[in-house]
Structure 1
Amino acid sequence: MPTTHMPLPAACLETSVVIVIGIDPHKSSLTAVAADDTGHELAARRFVVNAGTFTQLISWAQRWPQHRFAVEGAKGLGRGIAQQLAATGAGVVDVPATLAERARLLTTGGGRKTDATDAASVARVALHHHRLNSVQPEDQSTILRLLTEHRDDLTHERIRILNCLHGLLRDLVPGGAPTGLSADKAAAALRGVRPATATDACRRDIARQLLAALRRIDAQLNTNETELSQAVTAAGSSLTELPGVGVIMAAKILGHVGNVTRFPNADHFASYTGAAPIDASSGPRRRHRLNTGGNRQLNSALHIIAVVQAHHSDLGRAYYQRKLGEGKTPAEARRALKRRLANVIYRRILKDQKQAHPTAA
């Protein structure tokens, strides 16, 4: 594990100077670069990822009495080291890969890309960007996100199996398989199949295997919903009191939001969800455009809730109809309702978290 040493400026010998250690993580290694408050690189080291990586990193960082860490992709490849650091109470921020890339391109060197330059860029972003998310130890929101992501995987697999099963039944049953295919409907259709050829017998056998897999996934989905309900209850959330927000939707929102206090206000939260339009003004012209960025999972959740409320909730329907009366198109009125819902959900989660942790409020 090679170590690169650079001469330390005198200012870095003062304990008041906080050194930022940028970390560029990979599957089999991670590279750390220490930088002072001017962005000057002090030292760099590459660590092989194994059971002793964390201990080696902490020991190396002790050279600087005052230091903090910045990890690229703390919710991705950097999750492991970021969580280990956060568990010790160390200051750790999450640096998005897009910001680190921009910082690297703005430095001298012709855009050269190495693990060390990436880690140095991560450190520089942490020095100059003051709204990075602090890495928090995993909590109930992490459980909710894991459960909802697992449910999405199960749902996608169920759709794939149903499509395959539908195709086989189309060839086995005169007139094809029924619409809205389920495990029970597929089982009923298969009971009437009498293969006339060896090919049809093969199709029937595969269909039976797919049916067994479908029943297994249905059972897993039922178990998952029970676990989600328990996890939402344990989180102390009242989101399910809102029209259009069930247990699964509440779990997805809470899992992706995490600690809502990381958003300074409702406007920042709406921007994060992609529900707030983006200012695209130029000169005297004032205009906004649709925000196609943001967290797409939260944006999708807001869209579904808005559609439900526009048709089945008195307050949501009244707001939607009022926007239509103002001359907005149905899509524009729905987007306005999404923006309003973002505020409502932000305030509701903030209230719930303050009640659960009054001392942190």
Structure 2
Amino acid sequence: MHVVGIDGHKKTHTLVAVDQLGRRADEITVKATPSGHVQALKWIARFGQVLLAIEDCRHLTRRFEADLLLAGHAVVRVHTRLMAGARRSARERGKSDPIDAEAVARVALREPELPRASLAGPARDVKLLVDHRRRLVRSRTAAANKLRWFLHEIEPELPVPSRGLRRLCVFDMLAAELDGRAGVVVEIARDLVSECRRLTEQINGLEARLRRLVETLAPSLLNIPGCGVISAAVVIGETAGAARFKSKDAFAHFTGTAPIPVWSSNKVRVRLNRGGNRSINHALHMIAVTQVRRGGEGADYFAKQLARGKTPKEAVRLLRRRVSDRVFRALLADEAVSQPTVTHADLPVSAAA
């Protein structure tokens, strides 16, 4: 069985086939167009049963991934950081598209637990909506900060709540206060009020849409104390299917809640994991902090860790890992209801992931 490594770019894709010993068998470069994808599929068919490994640059290769999956191939994703070691250990020096594609293939031979690609589903829609909402919130924050300075210049004693520039009633009050005033500063402030209102209406609409999606895809997440709609949406969008993780430990490694071993000899030591998916790590942290603040099971666990001599930061980290495990179980339960669970062992090498 051969492994085909793929180095994707905006205009071309380079494919290199290697055998089980990592020796290059053949290579081809095709255009990043539908006709080029057909040419690549015909070339791959020459090798019979294959495993396809693609550099994880989904903004460039998403369409190619979909064509490969629809053709019935198994596709695994190789993170770019894993390719550096493969390039350094290769006999051919330098960096080129064929060298990178060969490095991708050799990483796939070396690493048996690479994440498998799958066709985009509702989880991607959730991620896109969450990312879009995040951009709108940042824009509103920038406009609101500028608006506050202008409002202070216009009327220093104007009462604006600390978090009021996200409520429609506050915008109505500001519009009434600015009505009838003259000057360039007032004109700009009036425009900023309108901009903040527009952004707030868009953000509220996205949150309502995300709530409907979360209640459909993973209602069990909302039953976890401290988990709101936005946190649940981040978890769903970034996870993209909990069944692709072999265990809760693998999921914790993905979320950055699993510690990193840094020990030698007989003394076992670990340190904080600053890697993993930081978006989902932040969502889990907010769930843990909310549980501590509101009381209940999470607060009891936090207090128990403090009684054992842990610092507040260490106790929150342990609670965050506990939340990660519970989130993983909830995602698996919801996926089992919506569709039959399929493990990696059930997937043939040439079947779609």
TM-score, with length taken from structure 2? 0.89
Q: Is the alpha carbon distance of 1:155 and 1:193 closer, same or farther for their aligned partners in structure 2, counting shifts above 3 Å?
A: closer
Q: Report whether the alignment pairs 1:128 with 2:121.
A: no
Shift of 1:74: 4.9
2:170 equivalent among 176, 185, 199: 185
Shift of 1:192: 3.6
Shift of 1:205: 2.1
2:280 equivalent among 298, 302, 317: 298
Does the 8 Å CA contact 1:74/1:82 hold for their aligned counterparts? no
Q: Report whether the alignment pairs 1:39 with 2:18.
A: no
Does the 8 Å CA contact 1:170/1:177 hold for their aligned counterparts? no
Does the 8 Å CA contact 1:275/1:291 hold for their aligned counterparts? yes
What's the counterpart of residue 47 of structure 2?
64
**Distance in 2 of aligned mates of 1:189 and 1:59:** 64
* Higher relative contact order (Cα pairs below 8 Å, separated by 6+ residues): 2
**Distance in 2 of aligned mates of 1:359 and 1:132:** 19
Q: Is the alpha carbon distance of 1:177 and 1:45 closer, same or farther for their aligned partners in structure 2, counting shifts above 3 Å?
A: farther
2:84 equivalent among 101, 110, 116: 101
AA matched with 1:147: L
What's the counterpart of residue 142 of structure 1?
124
Q: Is the alpha carbon distance of 1:114 and 1:317 closer, same or farther for their aligned partners in structure 2, counting shifts above 3 Å?
A: same
How big is each residue's C-alpha offset from its partner over 1:135-154, in whole Å with a ceiling of 9 and x where there is no partner?
11111211221121111111
Shift of 1:244: 0.5
AA matched with 2:213: A
What's the counterpart of residue 257 of structure 1?
239
Q: Report whether the alignment pairs 1:91 with 2:87.
A: no
SS of alignment partner, residue 238 of structure 1: helix
Please list, as runs of the form range in 1=range in 2, the aligned pairs for 1:136-175 lying within 5 A after superposition.
136-175=118-157
2:256 equivalent among 243, 263, 274: 274
Does the 8 Å CA contact 2:13/2:30 hold for their aligned counterparts? yes
How big is each residue's C-alpha offset from its partner over 1:19-55, in whole Å with a ceiling of 9 and x where there is no partner?
2221111122221112122111122222222342211
Shift of 1:62: 2.2
Does the 8 Å CA contact 1:145/1:252 hold for their aligned counterparts? yes
**Distance in 1 of aligned mates of 2:91 and 2:294:** 57
**Identity, % of aligned positions:** 34
TM-score, with length taken from structure 1? 0.88
What's the counterpart of residue 316 of structure 1?
298
How big is each residue's C-alpha offset from its partner over 1:215-264, in whole Å with a ceiling of 9 and x where there is no partner?
11111112111211121122143110111111221111111112212222
Does the 8 Å CA contact 1:72/1:95 hold for their aligned counterparts? yes
SS of alignment partner, residue 233 of structure 1: helix
2:3 equivalent among 11, 20, 33: 20
**Distance in 2 of aligned mates of 1:31 and 1:80:** 15
Shift of 1:176: 6.8
Does the 8 Å CA contact 2:18/2:25 hold for their aligned counterparts? yes
Q: Is the alpha carbon distance of 1:194 and 1:306 closer, same or farther for their aligned partners in structure 2, counting shifts above 3 Å?
A: closer
1:337 equivalent among 290, 307, 319: 319
Does the 8 Å CA contact 1:195/1:201 hold for their aligned counterparts? no
**Distance in 1 of aligned mates of 2:290 and 2:104:** 42
AA matched with 1:47: V
Q: Is the alpha carbon distance of 1:83 and 1:107 closer, same or farther for their aligned partners in structure 2, counting shifts above 3 Å?
A: same
Q: Is the alpha carbon distance of 1:193 and 1:260 closer, same or farther for their aligned partners in structure 2, counting shifts above 3 Å?
A: closer
**Distance in 1 of aligned mates of 2:159 and 2:92:** 62
**Distance in 1 of aligned mates of 2:214 and 2:200:** 21
Please list, as runs of the form range in 1=range in 2, the aligned pairs for 1:196-235 lying within 5 A after superposition.
201-235=183-217
What's the counterpart of residue 100 of structure 2?
118
Shift of 1:174: 3.0
Does the 8 Å CA contact 2:174/2:193 hold for their aligned counterparts? no
Structure 2 gap segments, 5+ residues each:
344-353
**Distance in 2 of aligned mates of 1:309 and 1:127:** 43
What's the counterpart of residue 80 of structure 1?
63
What's the counterpart of residue 351 of structure 2?
none
Q: Is the alpha carbon distance of 1:27 and 1:295 closer, same or farther for their aligned partners in structure 2, counting shifts above 3 Å?
A: same
SS of alignment partner, residue 219 of structure 2: coil
